[in-house]
Amino acid sequence: MSGLIIMGRENGTDSAREIRDRRSANDRIEVRTYDWLLRAARRADSLAWVCSTKKPATSTKTSND
């Protein structure tokens, strides 16, 4: 990806998707919606929460091993 443009909101039919996809393929510029940005942020936040709640692995070795 060479560039990223965030613009507008999606509508029920997402009629601009074809235009965004064509622009991405032709010009190496990703044209995304504000809704896409929100979904990406939610996924990143969810992953961060999962990573922060994992407990460190404990060793099962004993001192005699």
CA distance 33 to 28: 16
- Whether the Cβ atoms of residue 37 and residue 30 lie closer than 8 Å to each other: no
Beta-bridge partners for 6: 32
Average pLDDT over residues 55-59: 59
* 50 occurs within a structural domain: no
pTM of the complete model beyond 0.85: no
* 63 occurs within a structural domain: no
As for how many domains the chain has, the answer is: 1
Per-residue pLDDT at 44 exceeds 80:
yes
Give the per-residue pLDDT at 46. Answer: 76
* 51 occurs within a structural domain: no
